[in-house]
Amino acid sequence: MDLRLDGKRALITGGSRGLGYAVAEELSREGARVALLARDADAVESAAAGLRAAGHDAIGVVADTSQDRQVESAVAVVTQQFGGVDILVNAAAKAGGGPATGFLDLDDDDLRFEMETKVLGYLRCARAVAPQMIERGWGRIINIGGLAMRRTGSVFGSVRNVAVAAVAKNLADELGPQGVNVTVVHPWVTETAGVQTVIRDSAAARGLTEADIAEELAADVSVGRLIQPSEVAHVVAFLASPLSVAINGDAVAAGGGLRGPIFY
């Protein structure tokens, strides 16, 4: 299927590694020009260089999405170099969604960090690119949430991802009539380096092997294994496409199917 992404200009936050980089690879293969955004200058330039070496049009920009001015400056750089931003993929967030802790033991500053980075960070980036999308009458904003929103056990993971979904729906209703679709993709645990770190730490804390923890996580997934970042990226690429116009404001689960409750 031709996703009609050839020549589209995409900005991917958290793009230097993990799911963000997988999305950048997929959009590049579909013909998009991609700008990777991350806090680490060396990491983001190395990631962009890897895409260029594969024959893709890619740049790296440095910004902390918790800082308004840095986000605005980064979007200005991308706009100057590419001539605009057609697609925004918000993926800059800490892997794992914070520790599984009861609310009596919750550290308020930890939760503030989660909300500042993932929720307000996504909102900042959307606010920075939306005016030019509105002016052109077309755009796509895809927010990476997480299926932790459907589970208790981590106030951090559930609250931040429910908030991401709420932000997406509000933006979709406001921007949809102007040609800008906004969606949210909820992965479950995917096999990224960040998740491997979480698995390793969990195994050490519980006195189990990493294989034990991975097996526990996979037991929750109806396809019987953890989903790869590239498989989530396929979903994101479709939502970034003009062909996805029928989907706006809704959440798409991309975790391989969590066992148990029915969502409708």
Supply the mean pLDDT for the chain. Answer: 93
Percent of the chain, pLDDT > 70? 97
Alpha-carbon span 170 to 186, nearest angstrom: 17
pLDDT above 80 (res 30)? yes
pLDDT above 70 (res 101)? no
For 141, residues 6+ apart whose C-beta sits below 8 A from its C-beta are: 87, 88, 90, 126, 129, 130, 133, 168, 171, 175, 180, 181, 182, 183
pLDDT above 60 (res 99)? no
- Tens of pLDDT, residues 163-185: 999 999 999 999 999 999 999 99
- Tens of pLDDT, residues 47-82: 999 999 999 999 999 999 999 999 999 999 999 999
pLDDT of residue 105: 79
What are the chain's domains?
9-187+228-253 (3.40.50.720), 191-226 (no CATH)
Alpha-carbon span 170 to 167, nearest angstrom: 5
Is residue 146 within 8 Å of 161, Cβ to Cβ?
Answer: yes
Q: What is the mean pLDDT of residues 20-46?
A: 98
Q: What is the mean pLDDT of residues 209-219?
A: 88
Helix (H) or strand (E) holding 235, with range, is helix 229-239
pLDDT of residue 100: 62
> How would residue 264 be classed by pLDDT, with cut points 50, 70 and 90?
confident
pLDDT of residue 235: 98
Alpha-carbon span 57 to 31, nearest angstrom: 9
pLDDT above 60 (res 97)? no
SS3 124: helix
Which one of 49-63, 88-102, 214-228 scores highest in mean pLDDT? 49-63
> How would residue 210 be classed by pLDDT, with cut points 50, 70 and 90?
confident
pLDDT above 60 (res 229)? yes
